[in-house]
Structure 1
Amino acid sequence: MLVRRSFAFKCTLLVIAWLLLAIACVQIPSRVFWPASFGALTLPLALGLNLAAVGYWLLRNWRVAALPALVAFLTWPHFQRGLAVHPTQLASGRAAAPGPSTVRLLSANVRIFNVYPQLRDKDPESPVKFIRWLAENPADVLCLQEFYNEPVGSRTGEGRLFRSVDKIGKQAGRQAFVSKTLTNGAGAEFGMAIFSRFPIVGRGTISFDRLTQNHAMYADLRLPSGDTVRVYNFHLQSMSMDERDIVDSYSSKAGLKKKGLGLLRRFKRGLVARSVQVDTLVQRFERCRYPMLLCADLNDVPYSYSYDQLADHFQNAWATVGNGVGATYNGRLPFVRIDNQFASPSWQIADFRVHYEIPYSDHFPTSAIYTLSAAPSQAAAKSE
């Protein structure tokens, strides 16, 4: 028994060392040492094993259990990143009626509203349903990635189906700010968009080297309370990896040999690009004096450098009030949360949900309710 306990204690120490090393890996920029990202991805397993060690030693020796229990307490915010636990939030129900300093915010990667027929194989009516749902949604502010619009005068064959700026914007009582990255030969527009029922008093676009679909935009909004707040909408570098290739790579040795090297190259490129992009954004965030809300398709999981940099400066809405994994990817890869909303410390987060009932994209929309905890000093506010 003594030998067994000694062996178990050594294993506990190894798990704690692994856990601390994985946390260190999360904080290493991929552009500096990209293999550290693989260590960061093992963090959920290390956190789980440490909790298992707590349970084991509570049954064997409560004094020894104090060590992994202390580590679990100190690393609990990292646990909450991937598996939020807020039972009181479930018991209290949804948020109360909004006030003059409240913002109802919705974010969605709309996948160009399935404009191409192959994107709507499962539901030919998905573009109509998605645009209508967004137009009728009670959210005050909408942040949309991979946006698509056909303005009056475009020469596409879909008629008025994709007049998304008009339908989600003016006809729904919202102002529109569209950051266009491409206008094709037929006049159709691609990019990102922010729609707001509050007056837009300032706006801007942030490119990463050059303006592509992976960029950021922001809008300064005047709330009924008189406060000005800034909402950022951004889309970080994707892996450019097909879901089927990922599944094939781990389903067999032949698949791993055939697909693995190419996936690794694309994985590395994505990691490096996102680390540069998020550092660029954090520098901009630090210069802004308005209360901020961020909506993002990070293309990265909660145990990544990109997420970690944002979590160091902002509250993550799901980790703060959510329950469970909060997966936002609508595909064959399970438990993947790559879409997030963040809030600066001056906000109280009343509610957050993932809309699993809206399956019209490869991302599920997310929505949240935020209230300013105290009126910011507008005299001290500084716009970029």
Structure 2
Amino acid sequence: MRRSFAFTCTLLLIGWLLAAIACVQIPAYTFWPAAFGALTLPVALALNLVAAFYWVLRNWRVAALPIGIAVLTWPHFQRGLAVHPLRLAPLAADSTAGPRVRVLSANVRIFNVYPQLRDKDLSSSKKMIQWLADSPAEIVCLQEFYNEPRTSTSREKNVFNAVERIGERSGRQAFLSKTLTNGAGSEFGMAIFSRYPMLRRGTVQFGKLSQNHAMWADLRLPSGDTIRVFNFHLQSMSMDEQDIVDSYSSKSGLKKKGLGLLRRFKRGLVARSWQVDTLVQRFERSPYPLLLCADLNDLPYSYSYDQLADRFQNAWATVGNGVGATYNGRLPFVRIDNQFAGPEWQVDEFWVHYEIPYSDHFPTLATYRLVEK
């Protein structure tokens, strides 16, 4: 009787797991509640492993079912918890791989320029910009970028002359995609910096009322190959971290904050799903090998991540170990910043720089090699 009940639970668990995987592939603009089913996927994956262990001890023949499902769904497991014990050290270069390309990506939170983000003597702003300028990365992609042009003479404004500091002074060509220029001439947007020649560049807009967008640049490598780098920032949830914490800390907090959070959650889901579909169409038309840097504002078990992971290698899932959280805040285990690479690339290394805490996102650095055809 106990075994019959356990077997029934195992079948229900497998059904849940397969349904959650199906939910991941449904865009929110067609049926947004599916996103909630997708969020249960990591729980279903973990419980399936528990079921496999249980049946190994009880009945090997039944164990084959959850074990087989675990093998088939392992790529989904790797999205949230990468396991590569043999890659704790840097991977040796493939003999057919070309020169290495180091890519740094970071959401820099406008270098803490707003008064509520500043610290004494603009210390975090100075350290963040200097660290980026000193980075050995040949390509630097920044989201929530901020720049104050060189024409300013005040000491404070010189701190935020980020285009010159990270670009020209560090031997990099700069491409700044501006979403806003205020009355003082300060610039907001995203940026790509490259030590390789920049041949062409452009932007992909997500609508007139949205500051979220994508930018791209074609770069010529020393080998003569041309690659295309995309830098993009998908729609934010527009949810305050404290509101999220309050909503699950008490019943009164859930009642007070829950409905508003749900509305914003829905708006973000819908926007990101069509934004990523727009980008995928652009990616598929690229004549060159692709590298993608992004603040997805979405978890690995989401439609937007799934559309990218189905077509590209996620750098962390390919060579990382653990969760690879990139959000620097009170919400644990959140990885919303990602780098992806096309099939032409070998991913050698990927690191999250937890020692750089100056933004609410930790920077990521990856090393790639273009594999010869």
Pairwise TM-score range, normalised by the shorter structure:
over 0.9
Alignment of 1:80-91 (within 5 A): 80-90=78-88
Query: Does the 8 Å CA contact 2:98/2:371 hold for their aligned counterparts?
Result: no
Query: Does the 8 Å CA contact 1:155/1:186 hold for their aligned counterparts?
Result: no
Structure 1 stretch 117-126 or stretch 12-21: which is displaced more? Answer: 117-126
For 2:361, which of 360, 363, 368 is the aligned residue?
363
Report the equivalent of 1:382.
none
**SS of the residue aligned with 1:367?**
strand
CA offsets per residue over residues 179-199 of structure 1, 9 Å max, x none? 001000011000000000000
Over the matched positions of the two proteins, sequence identity in percent amounts to: 76
Report the equivalent of 1:349.
347
Q: How many Å separate the matches in 1 of 2:238 and 2:40?
A: 22
Query: Does the 8 Å CA contact 1:219/1:230 hold for their aligned counterparts?
Result: yes
Query: Does the 8 Å CA contact 2:329/2:360 hold for their aligned counterparts?
Result: yes
**SS of the residue aligned with 1:300?**
coil
Measured at CA, do residues 249 and 113 of structure 1 come closer, stay the same or move farther in structure 2, by a change above 3 Å?
A: same
Unaligned runs of 5+ in 1: 376-384
Query: Does the 8 Å CA contact 2:98/2:370 hold for their aligned counterparts?
Result: no
Report the equivalent of 1:197.
195
Q: How many Å separate the matches in 2 of 1:199 and 1:286?
A: 23
| Residue 356 (structure 1) shift | 0.3
**SS of the residue aligned with 1:186?**
coil
| Residue 118 (structure 1) shift | 1.4
| Residue 102 (structure 1) shift | 2.1
Report the equivalent of 2:29.
31
Q: How many Å separate the matches in 1 of 2:91 and 2:245?
A: 37
For 2:90, which of 88, 93, 98 is the aligned residue?
93
For 2:216, which of 207, 214, 218 is the aligned residue?
218
Report the equivalent of 2:17.
19
Query: Does the 8 Å CA contact 2:90/2:349 hold for their aligned counterparts?
Result: no
Q: How many Å separate the matches in 1 of 2:194 and 2:210?
A: 23
The residue type paired with residue 131 of structure 1 is I
Q: How many Å separate the matches in 1 of 2:285 and 2:71?
A: 33
Q: How many Å separate the matches in 2 of 1:97 and 1:202?
A: 30
| Residue 289 (structure 1) shift | 1.6
Report the equivalent of 1:186.
184
Q: How many Å separate the matches in 2 of 1:6 and 1:35?
A: 33
**SS of the residue aligned with 2:349?**
strand
Q: How many Å separate the matches in 1 of 2:19 and 2:141?
A: 36
For 1:65, which of 63, 66, 75 is the aligned residue?
63
Query: Does the 8 Å CA contact 1:154/1:187 hold for their aligned counterparts?
Result: no
| Residue 120 (structure 1) shift | 3.0
Q: How many Å separate the matches in 2 of 1:351 and 1:163?
A: 31
| Residue 212 (structure 1) shift | 3.9
1:77 aligns with 2:75: yes
Query: Does the 8 Å CA contact 1:155/1:187 hold for their aligned counterparts?
Result: no
Q: How many Å separate the matches in 2 of 1:292 and 1:340?
A: 14
Measured at CA, do residues 228 and 33 of structure 1 come closer, stay the same or move farther in structure 2, by a change above 3 Å?
A: same
| Residue 152 (structure 1) shift | 2.1
Q: How many Å separate the matches in 1 of 2:297 and 2:289?
A: 25
For 1:321, which of 301, 319, 322 is the aligned residue?
319
CA offsets per residue over residues 147-202 of structure 1, 9 Å max, x none? 00000234877231100000000000000000001000011000000000000001
Query: Does the 8 Å CA contact 1:156/1:188 hold for their aligned counterparts?
Result: no
Alignment of 1:96-111 (within 5 A): 101-111=99-109
Report the equivalent of 1:235.
233
The residue type paired with residue 228 of structure 2 is R
Q: How many Å separate the matches in 2 of 1:50 and 1:6?
A: 17
Q: How many Å separate the matches in 2 of 1:336 and 1:122?
A: 29
Structure 1 stretch 327-336 or stretch 156-165: which is displaced more? Answer: 156-165
Query: Does the 8 Å CA contact 2:98/2:372 hold for their aligned counterparts?
Result: no
Q: How many Å separate the matches in 2 of 1:261 and 1:74?
A: 37
| Residue 117 (structure 1) shift | 2.7
| Residue 211 (structure 1) shift | 6.7
CA RMSD of aligned residues (A): 1.7
Q: How many Å separate the matches in 2 of 1:304 and 1:115?
A: 32
Query: Does the 8 Å CA contact 2:181/2:188 hold for their aligned counterparts?
Result: yes
The residue type paired with residue 77 of structure 1 is P
| Residue 101 (structure 1) shift | 3.4
Report the equivalent of 2:372.
374
Q: How many Å separate the matches in 2 of 1:153 and 1:244?
A: 39
The residue type paired with residue 244 of structure 1 is Q
Q: How many Å separate the matches in 1 of 2:94 and 2:347?
A: 13
Q: How many Å separate the matches in 1 of 2:107 and 2:223?
A: 30
Measured at CA, do residues 162 and 105 of structure 1 come closer, stay the same or move farther in structure 2, by a change above 3 Å?
A: same
| Residue 123 (structure 1) shift | 8.6
For 1:170, which of 138, 148, 168 is the aligned residue?
168
TM-score, scaled relative to structure 2: 0.97
Report the equivalent of 1:259.
257
Structure 1 stretch 270-279 or stretch 366-375: which is displaced more? Answer: 366-375
| Residue 210 (structure 1) shift | 2.0
Q: How many Å separate the matches in 2 of 1:272 and 1:189?
A: 28
Measured at CA, do residues 117 and 227 of structure 1 come closer, stay the same or move farther in structure 2, by a change above 3 Å?
A: same
Report the equivalent of 2:45.
47
Measured at CA, do residues 349 and 122 of structure 1 come closer, stay the same or move farther in structure 2, by a change above 3 Å?
A: farther
For 1:148, which of 146, 167, 184 is the aligned residue?
146
Report the equivalent of 1:333.
331
Unaligned runs of 5+ in 2: none
**SS of the residue aligned with 2:174?**
strand
Report the equivalent of 2:281.
283
